[in-house]
Amino acid sequence: MSAESVDETAEAVSAVDNATPSKKIRLLPPDAPLLSVQNVTTSFLTPRGVVTAVSDVSFDLYTNEVVGIVGESGSGKTVLSRTLMGLQPKRGVQVDGSIQFATPFTGTADEVEGPMDENPLVGFEIARAKESELRKIWGTDIAMVFQDPMTSLNPVVRVGTQISEGLRVRLGMSRANAKKRAIELLTQVGIPSPEERYRMFPNQLSGGMRQRVMIAIALACNPRLLLADEPTTGLDVTIQAQILNLLEQLQADYKMSVILVTHDLGVVATRTDRIIVMYAGRIVEMGTTRDVFYSHRMPYTEALLGSTPKVADPSHTRLTTIPGRPPDILNLPQGCSFAPRCKYVTEKCLSERPELTPSEATGHFFACWNPIPARAVPVASPRASANEIGVDSDRD
Amino acid sequence: MGRYLVKRLVFLVWILLSVMFLAFLIIHLLPGDPAQAILQQGWTPQLGAALNKSLGLDKPLWQQYLSYVWNMAHLNFGTDWISGQPISQTLSQCLPPTIEMVLLSQLLALVLAIPLATLAALRPSGIFDRLANMGSFGLLSVPTYVVITLLYIPISEWLGVPNSGPASYVPFTQDWLANIESLSIPIIALSIGSFVVYFRVFRADLITSLQDEFITMARSKGISKSRILFRHAYRPSSVALLSAIGVNMAGLITGTFIAESVFQINGVGGQLLQATQQPDYQLIQAIVFVTATLIILINFAIDLLTGYIDPRISRD
C-alpha cells in the first residue's frame, strides 16, 4: 500500500478551496488518490435528536486498491459507503467533511492553473455535490453493489432491462448494442444461458444469480470505483466464496478500486490490500491487511478476530463472543466507545476518547489508550493468505 | 402467464354461474308471485294458476333452471310479461348511458388522481401533500346529490355548457357531443368518489415504492428522476390502484342511480330499482345477469393488467 498521505490530501483539499476565487481550476497531482476522504461525518436529523452514524472518518483510496471496511451491525459502515457515493438523501441527513473523487479533466489548458498534465485529473467534491451533478459520475465512475439483491433489484423490471438501462441512458448505446453488452456482462459474471436470463424477472433467479446480476449492473458502465456493501450477506457460504472470487477477478480485469464493506473478517482477509475497522461510526484501526491481522493494536480488532470461527478448531468449540452490545449511537459513552466492552479498559478510556495514532512498529493507525503490544509481521505481499492468518476465509 | 389466465377464467366462470343461480332463485325467494305482479287487481287463484302454467312456472325447478341458463347463454331474455316489451330492448336503452358514465368518470378520476398523487408522493407531508389530503377527504364527505346540485351552478349557469341540465339526456348515437354534454355533470359527480380513492391509494403506494431499496439502486445508475419515477416506481405502485379500479367500476354499474334519478337518465341503476318495486322478476334476472357479466369481464381485464404489471402475481 502507499504511505498514509494525510499531508498530501490536506493540500489537495485546500487546492479545491483556493480554486474558486481565481476561477482557474487546480489539477490534482498525477499520483493523487482516487478517493480522498477527509473528516467525514454523517448525521441524521431524527425526532429523537441528531444521530451521528459516521464520525470524523478520513482515509485515501488509490487506483487498483482494494480496501475492506469491517465492523459489526450499527458500526456505520453501510452509512459510510452510501455517504462516500453521495447516495444519502439530502433531506434529514447532514454530511460534513470532504469526499474528493479524482475525475478526468475534460476542459482546455487555459482553464487550468499551472501546467497541464498528460492525463489531467480534477477533484470532484461528492460531499457537497447536488444530485444532478452526482448523476454524472454514478454508474460511470462510481458504482455500488447493494447488500440484498432481493430488495435492490426492481421486482417488476426484467433483469436484462435493468442491466442495459445504464448502458442506454448513460453511454447512449443503441437498444441492440446495449442488449449485446448486457448479455456479455451476464456471461462475465458467470450466469449460464445469459440470453434466457436476460428476459427473466429477478424472482425467477436464485439469490446467488441475483447478486451476479447486481454485480453486472454495477459493472455495466465501467466504473473506476466499486463500492460493495456486504455483497455476500444474504447468500449461502458456498455462493459467498464464488461471489467474492468473482469480485476479485473482475477487480483485476476492470482495473477498478474496490471498497468492500463487510462484518466478516474472513471475507476481507485474502482479498483486500488494506483494512479499516469501524466501531460506533469511527475508524478504530486502519492499515495494511497484513498489519491489521498480525499486529492489531486495538482490542476491538482482536475481539473481532477472536470471534471468527476457524476450521482448525475442534468440533463443538464455543464461538468466542464480544460481551455486551454495540453502543447506542444516540447515547455514546464519553471516552472510547468500546470501553464498556473492553477487557483492557482503564480509567482514561472511560473519560477521554483516543485519537488515531500510528503504531510505532508498523506505522498503521489505531485508536486506543491501552493497546495490545505490537507484534512482528511476516514480510510478504500486503494481502495476507488465509492459512497464515488462520481465518477460514472462503469457508467452502 | 398462460396458466394464471386459465385459472382466473375458470374462477370467473364459476362466479358467473353462482350469480346466475342466485338470480334464478330470486323469483322463488322473493315474496309474492309473478302472476300476482302481472295481473295485479285482476288476480284470482284460477287466473294466476293458468298464467303460471302458460309462463312455464309450474314446471319442476330444475327444468326451469336449465331453460333459464340456456336462454341467458344465448342472450335470449324474452319478452317482459308486464310491459310486453322485449327485455333486450329495455336493456339496450338503459345500458349505454350507464356504461358511458362509468367509463368516463373512471377515466376522469384517473387522469386527475395519478399526476396529483405523484406530486404529493414526491414530497410526502409537504404542503401540497397535506392540502391534497385534506381536500380529498373533504370531497369524499359530500354526498353525490349535493355535489350534483353544486356542480350545476358553475357548469350549466356560469360556463353555460349546453344540454347539461336535468332531463336533457341525448343518446350517443344521435349526437356524441350533446351526449357528453348531457352527461357531464353526473360524470364529474361520479368521478369524485373514485378520484379520492385512487389518489390516496396511488399516493400511499408510490411513497412506499420510492423508499424501496431498488429505487436507491436505480439512482446509483445515474438515471434521471423522471425515469426512476416512470420506469421504476410506477409499475410496482399500481397493483392496489388496479384492484381499486375494479371494485369502483363494479360498484358504479349499479350505483349510478342517484345521478340518474336527479338527471332523469334511464340507466341500469334506476331500471333495477323500478323492476324491484314492481316486481318485474324477468327484468331483475336479466339486469343481474348483464351487470354480473360486465363486472366479471372488468375484473378479468383488471386481473390481466395486474398480471402484466407485476409478474410475481401471474407466476403463482
Is A279 domain-assigned?
yes
Q: Is there a single domain that holds both residue A337 and residue A237?
A: no
* A 89-148: CB under 8 A from B: 131, 134-140, 143-144, 146, 148
Residue B168 falls in which region: left (phi positive, over 0), alpha (psi -120 to 50) or beta: alpha
* Domain presence at residue A135: no
Amino acid at A299: P
The answer on A269 and A252 residing in a single domain is no
* Cα separation, B183 vs B188, whole angstroms: 9
Facing residue for B214 by CB, picked from A131, A152, A166: A152
Q: How many CA atoms lie within 13 A of B75 on its CB side?
A: 6
Mean pLDDT of A140-161: 93
Q: Which of A221, A237, A256 is the last residue of a domain?
A: A256
* Domain co-membership, A251 together with A360: no
CA distance A357 to A364: 8
Which residue has cell 429523537?
A: A48
Do residues A228 and A307 both lie within one domain? no
What pLDDT digit, counting tens, does each position of B135-160 carry?
988 888 888 778 888 888 888 778 87
For A226, the closest chain B residue by CA position comes to B220
Distance to chain B for A15, nearest Cα, Å: 28
Boundary-marking domain end, from A256, A272, A296? A256
Q: Rounded distance, CA A115 to CA A135, Å?
A: 30
| Contact status of B217 with chain A (Cβ, < 8 Å) | yes
Contacting residues for B239 by C-beta, under 8 A, at least 6 apart: B205, B306, B309, B310, B313
Q: Please report, for chain B, the start and end positions of each structural domain, with discontinuous segments joined by +.
A: 2-73, 87-314
pLDDT on residue B178: 85
Cβ contact B222–A204 (<8 Å): no
Looking at the partner chain, which of B221, B223, B236 has a beta carbon nearest the beta carbon of A156? B236
**How high is the pLDDT of residue B137?**
84
Q: Same domain, yes or no, for A343 and A270? A: yes
Interface test with A, best of B206, B212, B216, B220 (most A CBs within 10 A): B220
Task: Give pLDDT tens digits for A82-138.
Answer: 999 999 988 889 999 999 999 888 877 778 877 777 778 888 999 999 999 999 999
Task: Please report the pLDDT score of residue A381 as a whole number.
Answer: 60
Instruction: Specify the CATH number for the domain of residue A219.
Output: 3.40.50.300
Give me the total of CB pairs closer than 8 Å, taking one residue from chain A and one from chain B: 85
Residue A214 located in a structural domain: yes
| H/E run at residue A7 | helix A6-22
B10-30 pLDDT, tens digit each: 888 888 888 888 888 876 776
Rounded to whole angstroms, the Cα distance separating B316 from B314 reads 6
The domain over range B87-314 is classified in CATH as 3.90.1150.10: no
Q: Do A204 and B218 touch (CB under 8 A)?
A: no
- Measured in angstroms, the CA of B314 and the nearest CA of chain A are apart by 11
Global confidence as pTM: 0.83
> Structural domain of residue A287, as residue ranges?
264-396
In B, minimum Cα distance to A168 occurs at B223
Residue A344 counted as domain residue: yes
Using CB atoms, pick whichever of B213, B218, B311 lies closest to residue A156.
Answer: B311
Domain count, chain A: 3
| B224-243 residues touching A, CB cutoff 8 A | 224, 227, 231-232, 235-236
Q: Are residues A51 and A160 in the same domain?
A: no
Residue A75: inside a domain:
no
B149 to each of A183, B167, B263, B270, how far by Cα in Å? 61, 14, 10, 19
Given a cut of 50, the residues of chain B with pLDDT beneath it are: none
pLDDT band at A23 (very low <50, low <70, confident <90, very high): low
Residue A53, amino acid = A
C-alpha of A233 from chain center: 15
Q: Confirm whether A134 is domain-assigned.
A: no
pLDDT higher than 80, residue A187: yes
Are A145 and A227 part of one and the same domain? yes
Q: Does A261 touch chain B (CB under 8 A)?
A: no
Instruction: Tell me the DSSP string of B288-299.
Output: HHHHHHHHHHHH
Min CA distance, A378 vs chain B (Å)?
40
* Same-domain status, A219 and A281: no
Q: Residue A136: closest CA among chain B residues belongs to which residue? A: B222
Q: Within this chain, do residues A159 and A249 fall inside the same structural domain, yes or no? A: yes
Q: How confident is the model at residue A390 (pLDDT cuts 50, 70, 90)?
A: low
Give me the DSSP letters along chain B.
-HHHHHHHHHHHHHHHHHHHHHHHHHHHHSSS-HHHHHHGGG--HHHHHHHHHHTTTTS-HHHHHHHHHHHHHTT---B-TTT-SBHHHHHHHHHHHHHHHHHHHHHHHHHHHHHHHHHHHHSTTSHHHHHHHHHHHHHHTS-HHHHHHHHHIIIIIIS--TT-STT----TTT-HHHHHHHHHHHHHHHHHHHHHHHHHHHHHHHHHHHTSHHHHHHHTTT--HHHIIIIIIHHHHSHHHHHHHHHHHHHHHHH-HHHHHHHT---HHHHHHHHHHTT-HHHHHHHHHHHHHHHHHHHHHHHHHHHHH-HHHH--
Q: Specify the 3-state DSSP secondary structure of A332.
A: coil
Q: Please tell me whether residues A316 and A354 are part of one structural domain.
A: yes
B214 touches chain A (CB under 8 A): yes
Same domain, A232 and A296: no
Cell triple for B300: 378479468
Cβ contacts of residue B259 below 8 Å, gap of 6+? B101, B144, B148, B186, B189, B190, B265
Q: Is B222 within 8 Å of A154 when comparing Cβ atoms?
A: no
Q: What is the pLDDT of residue A117?
A: 75
Tens-place pLDDT, residues A288-316: 999 998 889 999 999 888 887 777 778 88
Query: Which positions in chain A touch B220 (Cβ < 8 Å)?
Result: 85, 87, 138-139, 143-144, 146
Tell me, yes or no, whether A82 lies in a domain: no
Q: Are residues A184 and A290 in the same domain?
A: no
Reported as a pLDDT band with limits 50, 70 and 90, residue A148 is: confident
Looking at residue A5, its pLDDT comes to 43
Chain A nearest C-alpha distance from B225 (Å)? 9
Using CA coordinates, name the residue in chain A closest to B307.
A156
| B220–A144 CB contact, under 8 Å | yes
Inform me whether the C-beta atom of residue A219 falls under 8 Å from chain B C-beta atoms: no
Q: Do B236 and A154 touch (CB under 8 A)?
A: yes
The answer to whether A292 touches A269, Cβ cutoff 8 Å, is no
